[in-house]
Amino acid sequence: MKSVYFLVLISAFSTLLGCNKFKSDHPEAELTDQYATNLTAASILKYADQIDKNLLKLPKSTSLVYMIGDLSFYVEKYIENGKTVLITEHAYNGAASNSLKEYYFRNDSLILEKVKNELSNDDGLIIKNSRTFLRSNTVFKIERRTASSNDAINSLPYIDVPLSLNNKADKTFLENVKTLNEVLNGSDKFEMVFENITTYPDSRYIVLKSKNQNSYTASILVKNKDQYIDSLLNNPIDFKDQKLAIKWIVEDKEAVYVPVASNTSASGLNR
């Protein structure tokens, strides 16, 4: 499986834009739509808008903030009535790039991927938006727009992108979702173990590493100590290469430790 690192970079630097009108329905999607669902691009967008309006009311789980090279990313999942309705992937590479991917689900089926990429270089800022619509796990419409500012891009219409007749893109989206769930669950190459805890005077971080060599790392800012943190500081060797039973929240793109006494009341916890 491809790592999130490469998935993000592929989407972030994609520059293909379609300029002509075309019949956008994938043939397989047209057949499945006739017998299985009446989803359209308009109805999917309306559904996604309803999810967005209710986000603050929905239970949320949050991954660690993972790092590999200059890239950092984390994933959030929103649940409604026991089912996943939205998974978001936040990725950033310093001041060079920033991307947000949003995956919307209905009845456990992926129906929409929205992407916003911001790229900064010597020529200024480039913003790219895309929307990919799916029915029965088949892409039936893709549209994009690009501009040099948020105000400009919000005033532009989306332009349809011609579709390929093969379903490789469809499978890629499902593979992406599988990887994002591994990020959220801390499984496979995203399973992290204790490396050390820093003791700088002005900040303290729990440093984690992947069980897979030469893979992802993560750090968790410790603002307030508790007995568990004291144990890590006093006896770090006892925790070396062990998976830690700790909680965190993500604030300003950084994972922050939640002391044990606060675990039951803190909002937005990873578990």
Write down the domain spans for the chain.
4-185, 191-262
- Whether the per-residue pLDDT at 30 is higher than 50: the answer is no
Q: Which of 125, 167, 164, 123 is nearest to 147 (CA)?
A: 125
Residue 8 has pLDDT above 70, yes or no: no
Residue 237 has a pLDDT of 95
Which H, E and C letters describe 191-214, residue by residue? CEEEEEECCCCCCCEEEEEECCCC
Phi-psi region of 253 (alpha: psi -120 to 50; beta: other; left: phi over 0): left
Q: Residue 203's pLDDT is what?
A: 86
Cα distance between residue 107 and residue 105, in whole Å: 7
Q: Which two tokens stand for residue 74?
A: 């984390």
Residues 6+ apart with CB under 8 A from 77: 60, 61, 62, 84, 86, 87, 181, 184
Q: Could you give the C-alpha distances from 186 to 75, 105, 157, in angstroms and in order?
A: 11, 21, 38
Q: State mean pLDDT over 165-185.
A: 86
The count of other CB atoms within 10 Å of the CB of residue 34 is 9
CA-CA-CA-CA dihedral for 167, 171, 176, 177, to nearest 10: 120
90-119 burial string, b = 16+ CB within 10 Å, else e? bbbbeeebbbebbbbbbeeebbbbbbebbb
Q: What is the pLDDT of residues 214-262, one digit of tens each?
A: 789 999 999 988 999 999 999 999 999 999 999 999 999 999 999 987 5
Could you tell me what percent of the chain has a pLDDT over 90?
Answer: 67
User: Over the stretch 256-269, which tens digit does the pLDDT of each residue have?
Assistant: 999 987 554 343 44
Contact yes or no for 208/270 (Cβ under 8 A): no
pLDDT band at 121 (very low <50, low <70, confident <90, very high): confident
* Average pLDDT of the chain, as a whole number: 84
Tokens of 214: 């030469």
- The confidence band for 10, taking pLDDT boundaries of 50, 70 and 90, is very low
**Is the model's pLDDT at 150 over the cut of 80?**
yes
In contact, 171 and 155? CB cutoff 8 Å = no
Residue type, 9: L
